[in-house]
Structure 1
Amino acid sequence: MIKKVLVTGADGFIGSHLVEALLDDGYKVKAFVYYNSFNSWGWLDTLPKEKLKQIEVFSGDIRDPNGVREAMKGIDIVFHLAALIAIPFSYHSPDSYVDTNIKGTLNVLQAARDLGTERILVTSTSEVYGTAQYVPIDELHPYQGQSPYSATKIGADRLAESFYRSFNMPITIVRPFNTFGPRQSARAVIPTIITQLLSGETEIKLGSLTPTRDFNFVKDTVQGFIEIAKCDNTIGEEINIATQDEISIGRLAEELIKQINPEAKIICDDQRLRPDKSEVNRLLGSNEKIKRLTGWSPSHTFEEGIKETVEWFKEEGNLQRYKSDIYNI
């Protein structure tokens, strides 16, 4: 039986890749995109026309319970990715993060409860752990709200847990570590470095170089979502999607500079620095649980993912979508 799935945040970076992967796997896909008067479907607009014709697009606002409920009617599986994710923007606009990340998730959960939705996957983030207290970070690691963004994601996760425990709902909390790849926003570090280099900049502006991150290539991240959705043993669980490997921002930048323009150098841009107590200094995730429950493991090396990402940015028209000369928060 072909499953009908809804992807919220389908117009975004990971969401658009998930839509593509679900179509390739034979699912019937409904894409929840953020309503706007430009009739823009975000990154979905860049998909081949033959794929777009297979997608049912629903324009709405995750903060609106009525629209969310309408979008979820007749849906078997919900992949809930819609969220505000930029950490610097959460410093001065935390209300919008509460409304989108917490209340938006509540809207999905309430509708799923009323409609009897078969499976709900709620997207978390490795940022809920804060700086690693031990490594690799497994799903039992303590939570720490080191930014308003991470605090709202902790709140959304705990709401999801409460609906699982209170109403026996088929919920899984999916926790990707740092995903990268084609179409990623310039607010993330890898596109920030690549776009500056490809635009001819010789002084690459970055924040702190010492933090480490566990980078997932986006195609592996979305396959993790799909494998989790296929497995009944993941219901009621919180599951990392991680490579169990780490690299510092400084080393990452040096590798990209070596590949694209060895003459470039790194300079510190103070506006890109997080407040000291807010910076997450180390993220290295455990992937033992997802491997044990689903058999998933990364299919791409970090080097393969970086190569594909750089090549995408080099394609005509892609780099023009980015404003590499300004700090994108």
Structure 2
Amino acid sequence: MQVLVTGGAGFIGSNLAEGFLDAGHRVVVLDNLDPYYDLGIKEHNLEVCHEAGDDHFEFVEGSTTDEELVDEVVASNDVDVIFHQASKAGVRTSVEHPKAYNESNIDGIVTVLEAAADHGVDRVVNASSSSVYGVPEYLPYDEDHPNHPKSPYAVTKLAAEHYCNVYDDLRDLSTVNLRYFTVYGPRMRPNMAISNFVSRCLNGEPPIIYGDGEQTRDFTFIDDVVEANRTLLETSDADGESMNVGSNDNISIRELAEYIVAETGADVDIVHEEAKDADARHTHADVSKAGELIDYEPTTDIREGVSKFIDWYEANREWYEPLVRNS
């Protein structure tokens, strides 16, 4: 199939692109190489895709807000399915720069949907987020939970979902929204709890927890996210749906830090600093809907996944660590 992955130089997008290439599909990545973190990581991600795909892989540098470019990429490549991963990331940063997030994340999805509808794309799979739920009225979150986004980032993710639903209804374009719950794993971006904790512990520095550490997260291993997206190349059962993609488990940030300290053998004490604005207190996914529609079943729990990430980090430390520490 002809697959377009927007934001395909990033962590999740590059893992999707690599997986599709390994399965024999032709993949085009569109990415503006936003320097939100050290671009060396994104450049490495693209090298991995080139190695996986050879002449079945193409990289186009540019933004999803560039209407002419997006239209040309979709039309000239006869794209079958678009996996829209491109968006400006970061809950905390969005509080400081809401207009930038609005432009990137909302204008971007509309441009992609327009091009998809105009050129007969079979499906757009949109990367949404657990942040659309906001403060939990109950846990685990199911898809019927009220949406009360608490940051500009979360607002843009919810708006993108609504745009997908509108295009599904009005333009006869199949769309699916996947609500990711804190994705982690090899090549993950540096400014996240797991990558920060592991990097600091391996360098004899204490992990820093913002707040009391009793906040909990549903962490999702990247391989499970790739499998959920891969399934949507084939099944038609999910048309017009939004669904959670999580681990069906959660862990407190304090427990996570303690586990990483133990696994790395670091002789350090955990440090606490003031909590950050807009951070969610708890997340926990009910993934039964994804199980019913796309046979989604998470395979990696947080402790197993963290151990895998530590092993990968140590094996790739020479190139990865300087970029993490520089971000």
- What's the CA shift for 1:111? 0.7
Question: Where in structure 2 are the equivalents of 1:68-79 lying within 5 Å?
Answer: 68-73=70-75, 74-79=78-83
Shift of 1:41: 5.3
Q: Distance in 2 between matches of 1:36 and 1:238?
A: 27
Alpha-carbon offset, residue 172 of structure 1:
0.8
Please list every run of 5 or more consecutive structure 2 residues that lacks an aligned counterpart in the other structure: none
Residue 169 of structure 2 aligns to a residue whose secondary structure is helix
Q: CA deviation at 1:43?
A: 3.9
- State the match for 2:64 in structure 1: 62
Q: How does 1:248-287 map to 2 (within 5 A)?
A: 248-270=252-274, 273-275=275-277, 278-287=278-287
Shift of residue 206 of structure 1? Answer: 2.1
User: Does 2:209 align with 1:206?
Assistant: yes
Give per-residue Cα distances to partners, 1:237-272, cap 9 Å, x unaligned: 0011112111011110110011113421111233xx
Indicate the residue corresponding to 1:17 in structure 2.
15
CA distance in 2, matches of 1:120, 1:280: 28
Partner of 1:242: 246
Deviation digits for residues 56-79 of structure 1, max 9, x if unmatched?
111111121111111212100000
8 Å CA contact retained: 1:205, 1:269: yes
CA distance in 2, matches of 1:302, 1:258: 14
CA distance in 1 between counterparts of 2:158 and 2:31 reads: 23
2:118 pairs, out of 104, 114, 121, with 114
The answer (yes or no) to whether the contact 2:247–2:300 under 8 Å persists in 1 is: no
Range 74-83 or range 239-248, more displaced: 239-248
Determine the C-alpha separation between the residues in 2 that align with 1:303 and 1:188.
Answer: 16
Give the TM-score, by structure 1 length. Answer: 0.91
> What is the correspondence of 1:184-195 to structure 2 with a 5 Å cutoff?
184-195=188-199
Give the counterpart letter for 2:241 in structure 1: E
> When the two structures are superposed, what TM-score results if normalisation uses the length of structure 2?
0.92
Contact (CA 8 Å) 1:44, 1:52: kept in 2 or not?
no
Deviation at 1:300, TM superposition (A): 2.4
Establish whether residue 128 from structure 1 lines up as the match of residue 132 from structure 2: yes
Percent of aligned positions that are identical: 28
Structure 1 residue 185: Cα displacement: 1.5
The 2-side partners of 1:65 and 1:183 are apart by 30
Partner in structure 1 of residue 295 of structure 2: 295
Give yes or no for the alignment of 1:44 onto 2:42: no
SS of the residue 2:165 aligns to: helix
d(CA) in 2 for partners of 1:163 and 1:48?
Answer: 30
Aligned-residue offset at 1:162: 1.3
Distance, in Å, in 2 between the alignment partners of 1:178 and 1:137 is 14
Q: Structure 1 residue 51: deviation in Å?
A: 1.6
**C-alpha separation between the residues in 1 aligned to 2:44 and 2:10?**
6
| RMSD (Å), alpha carbons | 2.0
Q: Which runs of 5+ in 1 are unaligned?
A: none
Residue 171 (structure 2) pairs with residue 167 (structure 1) = yes
Contact 2:22 2:53 in 1 (8 A): no
| Shift of residue 42, structure 1, vs aligned partner | 3.1
TM-fit CA distance, 1:10: 0.3
Partner of 1:323: 325
